[in-house]
Chains A and B, each alone.
Chain A
Amino acid sequence: MGKARLKNLDYVIFIPYIIMSIIGVVMVYSASANIALQNGGSPLSYLIKQLIFVIISIVIVAVMTAMNIKYLRKPGFLKFLLYAFILVLIGLLVVGKTINGAAGWIHLGPVNIQPAEFVKFFLIIWLADVIDKSQPEITLSFRSWWDQMKWPLFFTAVLIALILKQPDSGGAAINLAIAFILFNCSGFSWKRALGVIYGCVVAAFLAFEFILVPMAKSDSFSNSYQLQRIVAFTNPFGHAQGTGQQVVNSYYAISNGGLFGVGLGNSVQKTGYLPEPNTDFIMSILTEELGAIAAFLVLALLAVIILRTVQIGVRSNNTYQSLVCYGVATYMSIQTFFNMGGVLGVLPITGVTFPFISYGGSSILTLSFCLGLVLNISSRQRMQRRALKVARK
């Protein structure tokens, strides 16, 4: 069966994924040109590491596509992962080494692992499984929904709270978004689900605009690292030397690039003006070097993967498969939104990477697990459809 799934690979997802991974390797190498002076390490070491990540990523995607999903749904395995993640996140808070103001990393020799990234994948497979398994009961009434969902809700809250405490507000927000969408697809009527989803989006926007922004602007919170990012967001040019530095320099990079870019390797902003050029702001550098049209095409490739994933979810009649697809699509969309939101100055900077392009093993590997699972589901669908067709004939 595994081989058959690989043969029926969904190229609408796979090809954009490969193209983006290659662009990612090239851009990580280019954007790291001056990184040695900032963070240490040579551009070549970033290139090699990213290349290794991509190779591992392809292997993971292949394995995930070929494997039988039932192994992922074993209760013991999921329970073990849940407790392991909670323990690791607590452990990180206690002894975690601070990188960029967040205690989110485990250092294993040359590799740094970011457990919060893997939590995203875990949340998707865990909640999808839980909701699918308790499907008949939770659709009966809110009461029975609550009875079934209270513990998953509680543990989800614990995981998100631990990530938020690191502090990794971006990671926490993405996990929250995944869980939120999955819970909303657990069996509510579509009217209620959409009402809650869009209601919360509007509420979040209003809360940001009318509570967080005034709070950040008042002097009493001037020590908060996160609130200062909001201040920089509202008036980046007023804080161009300080907290607004990243956004402002991201603007300069995009402006420098224009439609067609200054040419690969010619970015000025990567020479120290724009911090984190190979991770959080790789899209700024990509725009500067390759131009806004190229960046637009990269966004389009990503949109193809995401929309295709949603499509697979919609087509599926299997609750678990649907939820996995929605979860993965939400994960990638929100992550892209947070990253590009920071790059384009429409959101405060949350320190989130751009899927498939940014440097970073944890991010790529998590995406591979997700994508592999989606490809697995897609292959199953195709084979099913084909089988149906044959049966009809």
Chain B
Amino acid sequence: MKDSSDRSADKLNARKSRKIVGISLFLTFFLLFAFLGTRLLVIAVGKNVKNVNLNDRAEKLYTQTQTLKAKRGSIYDADGNPIAEDTSTYSLYAVLDKTQKGLNGKPLYVVNKSKTAKVLSKYLPITQKKAMKILSPKNKQPFQVEFGSAGTNISLLTKKKIQAEKLPGIDFVQKQARLYPNGVFSSNLIGVAVSETNKKTGTANLVGQMGIEQAFNKTLAGQNGYKDAQYDVYGYKLPGKQQKEKAVKNGNNVYTTIDSRIQTLLESEMNSVQSQVHAAGMNAVLMDAKTGKIVAASQRPTFNAATLKGIGSAWTNTLSSDMYEPGSTMKVFTLSSAIDSGHYNGTDTYESGRYSIDGKIVPDWNPAGWGYITYNKGFALSSNVAMAHLEQQMGPKTWKKYIHRFGFLKSTNSGLPGELTGRIQFNYPIEQADTSFGQGIEVTTMQMMQALSAVSNNGTMMKPYFISKITNPSNTKTIKKYGKKVVGHPISATTAKAVRKHMQDVVYKSYGIGADYKIKGYRVAAKTGTAQVSNGMGGYASGDDSYLYSVAGMVPANNPRYVMFITMKQPKLTGTKTATQLLAEIFKPVITRALQNSNAKQATVKRQVPNVTYQTTTYGKRIMNEKGFDVVTIGSGDSILKQSPSSGTTLNEQKRVFLLTNKGWKMPRIIGWSKNDVKQFCSLTGLKLESTGSGYADSQSINFEKSIDTGDVLKVNFE
């Protein structure tokens, strides 16, 4: 080598230094690699950096849990028509933030505002100008904007149409909603389900709040499922990774025993009476006399389940959650007990008017009395004194025994939330006597219905029921069947027949006070009642309007088919009609229609359409319902502008009749309507119908309960 000859001391030093530096580099690099290798192994084995569990984090990163929402079961009437059902509505929003971009830089924000506004105005109840204004907010650029009421409650059909326009930045949020197509329709017994957010899971679910919706919440709600899957960044499922999944279980369907036609009639009769006297509360129940099946039940105050209007003052289902002193309707059971225990001699006489027990007076409603009369007449006249005597002849022990046998003072186990059991004051002879005419004892309507069934069903007491079956939504198989259930035999059949005979006297004897309940063609057994309303402070409310009026009736009297019980609390009577007459206005048409329907099974009856134009809405609905037509009222106005079909047309019973009121038109639910019905509806309201297909309506472009106006376009698909 050429350098080897030149060996100066400096160069030797320099070479030595370089070697030493080289050796230290060797060691340094070795240590560096050892450090990197160690760190690598520590992470790979420990799976933990800075106290973060890498395994858990990575799993979370890949896994997406998708909640599969259970569909809430429907509630049906006796014929299988929906009373409450699930529906999905959509809310629309527009993303304005320009940084929102998808793969390949595809914009996910509104690009062309005027085109977007134009398309939205085409499908939503919003003008192009207004939509444009919303899309161009003045104060600093928000991430997204919404469109108020116009952008909510959008139907699936409309959503699909808007989506078909492929507008960037327009997105939808699905909302589960409960649909009550009938509005006011035994609303408190059916109840409502409203969306509640589960604090634990953060998901919103419909939860029953009252009546059947609450009582059967668990079976109606079903069970949400979920799907855990692992995805790559682009949303593709990773192969070979375990996918955890729990199937969704949709809620079961609940079938009630409610007969929609009778229920609708009952509601309109109740409205009619309520609008006349504005009672503090009313209850009316129609029950099958032999089985305890509830055919119709209504109360006032109530609410519109579709809009929740009025729910603020109607949070109680008074059928089972309200107790009151029934008054004279209780005499049915006093008489039953006396006859059944062999303490009744109807032809014996007593002095009516007033009767003193331990210095306390039992008065008749006519304090002057009717002199010495028979017990038979005393019952028909609703004499308190007669009942006090009967109670004393039986003795308090026997009477109390019968009170229990009739199922008072304990729950009927209806299953409804918050059912009350009632109570009694029974310590002193005067208190014991008071209970014989329904004072000093508190009962629920459910208990009254149950006790009345013993009389109507010849001594065998039936449990009132309103659910016929629960079915599985996927295979429609019945999961649980409900039917008639005997809950006791408080009296003998002979006693029951005798009591019904006395109840007929109330209606048909010249001195009876229930003549208002006579129905042409049917023999009626009834008992009226007038009770003083407790003021809740140990005393009774005073004044003319301080009474609870009631009637319990069974038709036909000899072999009852239906039992009806109506109460009316503190009506503001105007003097034109008595309370009995008002109650009869509900009792007679409803029970008559029920009897006619059950006799003339499926035979359709043709009737003439009456003229109700320019009448009040309440009146018009009632008249049409009494004729047996299916009334569709459009709007919330109180008078009727137009009707369709016009008066004089002959129409089959159960066919639709449209009544157009003077204001507040809202879209009804038209799913299932015939094309002809939809056409009639459109010509009445002036909507422009764009129909596709034939048969029955399958979808409607304007959502249920949306405001409508003449000239709006309604797109309907028939199938």
Contacts and interface: CB of A to CB of B under 8 A. Distances in A.
A255 B36 contact: no
B39 A266 contact: no
Contact of A254 (B1, B24, B43, B241): B43
A379 B55 CA distance: 49
Contact of B17 (A188, A296, A336): A188
A296 B11 contact: no
Nearest to B6: A136
A344 B26 contact: no
Interface stretch (B45-53, B126-134, B668-676, B709-717): B45-53
Given A135-B11, A299-B36, A337-B32, A257 B44 contact: yes
A48 interface: no
B20 A190 contact: yes
A248 B29 CA distance: 27
Interface string A186-229: 01111001100100000000000000000000000000000000
A332 to B, nearest CB: 9
Contacts of B15: 317, 319
Interface in A113-142: 135-136, 139-140
A84 interface: no
Interface stretch (A15-23, A59-67, A307-315, A368-376): A307-315
Contacts of A139: 10-11, 13-14
B598 to A, nearest CB: 69
B41 interface: yes
B33 A258 contact: no
Contact of A136 (B1, B11, B238, B240): B11
Contact of A135 (B14, B21, B49): B14
A318 interface: yes
Contacts of A135: 11, 14
Interface stretch (B57-65, B146-154, B169-177, B571-579): B57-65
A244 to B, nearest CB: 11
Contacts of B44: 254-255, 257-259, 287, 291-292, 295
B232 interface: yes
A187 B17 contact: yes
A326 B61 contact: no
Contact of A299 (B25, B33, B47): B33
Count chain B CB atoms within 10 A of each CB in A184, A190, A311 and give the residue with the most: A190
Interface string A230-257: 0000001100000000001001101111
Contacts of A189: 13, 17
Contacts of B11: 135-136, 139
Interface string B238-251: 10110000000000
Interface stretch (A89-97, A98-106, A153-161, A268-276): A268-276
Contacts of B47: 255, 258
Contact of A303 (B1, B3, B8, B33): B33
Contact of B18 (A140, A185, A258, A311): A185
Contacts of A140: 10
A44 interface: no
A333 B36 contact: no
A8 interface: no
B37 interface: yes
B8 A136 contact: yes
Contacts of A319: 14-15, 18
A300 B33 contact: yes
Interface string A169-186: 000000000000100110
B21 A184 contact: yes
Contacts of B18: 185, 190, 319, 322-323, 326
Contact of A302 (B16, B23, B33, B236): B33
B232 A299 contact: no
23 contacts: A135-B14, A139-B10, A185-B22, A190-B18, A193-B17, A236-B50, A251-B49, A252-B57, A255-B47, A268-B230, A268-B238, A271-B236, A292-B40, A292-B45, A295-B40, A295-B44, A296-B41, A299-B33, A300-B33, A300-B37, A322-B18, A326-B25, A344-B40
Interface of B: 1, 3-4, 8, 10-11, 13-26, 29-30, 32-33, 36-37, 39-41, 43-45, 47, 49-50, 52, 54-55, 57-58, 61-62, 230, 232-234, 236, 238, 240-241
Nearest to A341: B36
A378 interface: no
Q: Output the residue of A34, A139, A258, A322 with the most chain B CB within 10 A.
A: A139
Contacts of B52: 237
A269 B57 CA distance: 13
9 A-B pairs with least C-beta separation: A272-B233, A292-B44, A271-B232, A255-B54, A190-B17, A314-B22, A190-B20, A252-B58, A303-B33
Given A139-B14, A319-B15, A322-B22, A345 B232 contact: no
A193 B20 CA distance: 10
Contacts of B58: 252, 255-256, 268
B30 A299 contact: no
A252 B58 CA distance: 6
Contact of A314 (B23, B36, B50, B54): B23
A330 interface: yes
Max chain A CB contacts within 10 Å: which of B14, B16, B39? B14
A326 B29 contact: no
Contact of A272 (B26, B45, B232): B232
Contact of B45 (A194, A258, A306): A258
A291 to B, nearest CB: 7
A77 B17 CA distance: 30
Nearest to B241: A268
Given A237-B52, A258-B45, A323-B18, 9 more contacts: A136-B8, A194-B20, A268-B241, A273-B233, A291-B44, A299-B36, A303-B33, A322-B18, A326-B25
Contacts of B232: 34, 268, 271-273
A188 B15 CA distance: 10
Contact of A310 (B16, B29, B45): B29
A377 interface: no
Contact of A287 (B40, B50, B62, B230): B40
A340 interface: yes
A311 B26 CA distance: 7
A252 B61 contact: yes
B478 to A, nearest CB: 48
A296 B25 contact: no
B1 to A, nearest CB: 7
Given A190-B20, A296-B40, A340-B40, A306 B238 contact: no
Contacts of B8: 136
